[in-house]
Amino acid sequence: MQFKHSMIALLGLATAAFAQAQAWPAKPVALVVPFAAGGPTDVVARTLAASMTKSLGQTVLVENKLGAGGNVAAAYVAKAPADGYTFFIHHNGMATSTALYRKLNYDAMKDFEFVSQAVEVPMTLLARKDFPANNFQEMVSYIRANKDKINLATAGLGAVSQLCGMMFQRAIGVQLTEVPFQGTAPAMNALLGGQVDVMCDQTTQTVPQIKAGTVKLYGVTTKSRVKVLPNAPTLHEQGLKDFEVVVWHGIYAPKGTPRPIIDRMNQAVRAALKDPDVVKRMDDLGAEIVEDRTNTPDALQAHLKSEIDKWGPVIRAGGKFAD
Ligand code: MLT
């Protein structure tokens, strides 16, 4: 009898989840961005959201939740209702934060459902327009000679601008004063205004500034040159052997979000990544759409795990942590 009642209860739950998924989305869907509006993550999120709004028939609303290098947003999404109306886009920070923070209010591997990978983005090493160095070698010499006076802008511990900046400082043997912002959009404003000196940032924000000549570019962080900036040498080819930072984005949902909703969201992300408007915008900004076969929940889960394993030792060697 007990068994029969449990079976009926289980069936009831399954039917409710199915009905919920069938009706989804019945209202706007939030896509939480962990950094400031107008910055690189936000640009990717809004480009995808515009396309997904068309395919889902409901608005995908980008919500910027700032703080702690992306970790305020991650903790918020981990605790959000698992009803299919909250999703999260994050980058390498989802993996690096587990090593950077002694205590996090969420578990990257356990507290989320995995939806899809999305795009990969190169980074650029920049300085303010009037920085007194005209090429990478001059930049390194100037920084070494003036290290006490130079500020490095970042988006905080957990941000890729901080990770790239940390690797750059380590590679050239200096420790600069880091100035954290709540995203590289405000950091870029400070660079343009001359309040900070140097910054690593993603092409999704920097290409327009580089093309307009409002910042100085010293190299790209990928192993090969970037199509949209063909004249920019890599840091690797300029002497920082094997220097490589590629920013990858994943889309997540709170743990327990019904699988049929995850699958439908996955289809919407994949459709967006094939939308010619998205393809063109990403192309213009140097971002590469991740191969279709790797845009599955399982592939994202495996990728996150491998990135946690990859960055943990690099970060621990850097010795920079937050509570
Ligand atoms: C942003 O969107 O502001 C950046 O992704 C922050 C960073 O990680 O550097």
Percent of the chain residues topping a pLDDT of 90: 85
State yes or no: pLDDT of 315 exceeds 90.
no
**Ligand 1 close to Cβ of residue 41 (< 6 A):** yes
Q: What is the C-alpha to C-alpha distance for residues 8 and 169, in angstroms, rounded to an integer?
A: 61
5-9, 135-139, 254-258, 267-271: the lowest-pLDDT one: 5-9
Q: Is the peptide bond before 25 cis (omega within 30 degrees of 0)?
A: yes
6 and 85, same domain (yes or no)? yes
CA 165 to ligand 1 centroid distance, Å: 12
- Specify the ligand 1 atom closest to the Cα of 41: 2
**Ligand 1 close to Cβ of residue 155 (< 6 A):** yes
Token pair 């010293």 is found at 218
* pLDDT at residue 210 in the model: 98
State yes or no: pLDDT of 126 exceeds 60.
yes
Name the closest-CA residue to atom 3, ligand 1: 183
Element (H, E) at 53: helix 40-56
**Ligand 1 close to Cβ of residue 156 (< 6 A):** no
85 and 32, same domain (yes or no)? yes
Q: Looking at per-residue confidence, does 257 or 18 come out higher? A: 257
Return the amino acid letter for 278. V
Determine the Cα angle at 303 with ends 256 and 246, to 5°: 125
User: Is 130 part of a structural domain of the chain?
Assistant: yes
Instruction: Specify whether the CB–CB gap between 102 and 184 falls below 8 A.
Output: no
**Ligand 1 close to Cβ of residue 96 (< 6 A):** no
Name the closest-CA residue to atom 9, ligand 1: 161
**319 class by beta-carbon count within 10 Å (0-12 exposed, 13-18 middle, 19+ buried):** exposed
Nearest to 76 by CA among 104, 50, 54: 104
**Ligand 1 close to Cβ of residue 165 (< 6 A):** no
133 and 168, same domain (yes or no)? yes
174 and 267, same domain (yes or no)? no
Q: How many CB atoms are closer than 10 A to CB 322?
A: 15
User: Is 273 part of a structural domain of the chain?
Assistant: yes
Q: What's the domain range around 110?
A: 2-121+247-318
Q: What is the C-alpha to C-alpha distance for residues 175 and 173, in angstroms, rounded to an integer?
A: 7
**Ligand 1 close to Cβ of residue 158 (< 6 A):** no
The sign of the CA dihedral 155, 41, 167, 96 is positive
28 φ/ψ angles, rounded to the nearest 5 degrees:
-55, 150
Element (H, E) at 269: helix 259-274
User: Is 162 part of a structural domain of the chain?
Assistant: yes
186 φ/ψ angles, rounded to the nearest 5 degrees:
-65, -30
User: Is 225 part of a structural domain of the chain?
Assistant: no
What CATH number did the domain enclosing 157 receive?
3.40.190.10
Name the closest-CA residue to atom 7, ligand 1: 159
CA 315 to ligand 1 centroid distance, Å: 18
Q: Which of 184, 198, 199, 204 to mutate to test the pocket of ligand 1 (most atoms within 8 A of CB)?
A: 184
Element (H, E) at 209: helix 203-212
Instruction: Specify whether the CB–CB gap between 222 and 203 falls below 8 A.
Output: no
User: Is 226 part of a structural domain of the chain?
Assistant: no
What CATH number did the domain enclosing 81 receive?
3.40.190.150
**Ligand 1 close to Cβ of residue 196 (< 6 A):** no
CA 80 to ligand 1 centroid distance, Å: 22
Start-end of H helices in 57-135 = 71-78, 93-100
73 and 172, same domain (yes or no)? no
93 and 70, same domain (yes or no)? yes
192 and 139, same domain (yes or no)? yes
* pLDDT at residue 192 in the model: 98
User: Is 198 part of a structural domain of the chain?
Assistant: yes
174 and 311, same domain (yes or no)? no
Query: Which residue, of 158, 185, 220, is where some domain finishes?
Result: 220
CA 160 to ligand 1 centroid distance, Å: 6
Q: What would the pLDDT profile of 144-178 be if each residue is shown by its tens digit?
A: 999 999 999 999 999 999 999 999 999 999 999 99
116 and 131, same domain (yes or no)? no
* pLDDT at residue 123 in the model: 98
Q: What would the pLDDT profile of 290-305 be if each residue is shown by its tens digit?
A: 887 788 999 999 999 9
User: Is 93 part of a structural domain of the chain?
Assistant: yes
Element (H, E) at 64: strand 60-64
126 and 103, same domain (yes or no)? no
State yes or no: pLDDT of 2 exceeds 60.
no
Instruction: Specify whether the CB–CB gap between 33 and 159 falls below 8 A.
Output: no
Q: What is the C-alpha to C-alpha distance for residues 227 and 93, in angstroms, rounded to an integer?
A: 25
Local structure of 153: helix, strand or coil: strand
User: Is 191 part of a structural domain of the chain?
Assistant: yes
State yes or no: pLDDT of 232 exceeds 90.
yes
155 and 104, same domain (yes or no)? no
83 and 148, same domain (yes or no)? no
Into how many domains does the chain fold? Answer: 2
Query: Which residue, of 205, 220, 235, is where some domain finishes?
Result: 220
Q: What would the pLDDT profile of 195-211 be if each residue is shown by its tens digit?
A: 999 999 999 999 999 99
